[in-house]
Chain A
């Protein structure tokens, strides 16, 4: 059983569309991270949120941490083919932030 559930698992959309990816848990985390992973590469950190209700923006990407620090969302506005990849959320717990990963959302943005 995964500590973090991501939805949807797969998403295929046209360039210019908006989308939201969800990351849910019944556990509280001290921090929540979002990564993007390209084929054959390791995950690359996009953002870290640490405060309940926190919202961070990275160009067309908006990240939100739930008020209770149990869930998070990633919203992409006007998706582009360059956004294609596997998006992973990871929750940190404990003094040294052990990270627990969701199963990922595979996004394909078609031109």
Chain B
């Protein structure tokens, strides 16, 4: 019963570096999404996907790319990290109004 698995849990990047945050779910949900959580801001939607091969932008998509080649996986790519991308990132998988979140990735960009 893994649910939603995110890796890594912690990451420190230098400005300009690239990296991929991994997200996998084993519940066969079509809908997956990425959020970032900053103090006093709640969670803000970065990108989402309604099924394999389909992605769309959320509220704060700039600086991030996503792809959805399988139902299970929804990676989030930072092409050139900036200090403003220091945040905690959550991946979620949903069915109807039921959403399940991973444990998060704490990213620091120095």
Contacts and interface: CB of A to CB of B under 8 A. Distances in A.
B102 A31 contact: no
B103 A48 contact: no
B58 to A, nearest CB: 7
- Describe B's contact surface by its main secondary structure: strand
Contacts of B40: 9, 103
Interface residues of B, number: 26
Q: Classify chain A's interface size.
A: 20 to 34
A33 B50 CA distance: 20
Interface of B: 4, 31, 33, 35, 40-45, 48, 50, 58-59, 90, 92, 94, 96-104
Q: Ordered nearest first, which 5 A-B pairs have the shortest CB separation?
A: A42-B101, A101-B42, A101-B43, A103-B42, A48-B97
23 contacts: A40-B104, A42-B4, A42-B90, A42-B92, A42-B102, A43-B90, A43-B101, A44-B101, A45-B99, A45-B100, A50-B97, A92-B97, A96-B31, A96-B94, A97-B94, A98-B45, A98-B58, A99-B33, A99-B94, A101-B43, A102-B42, A103-B40, A103-B41
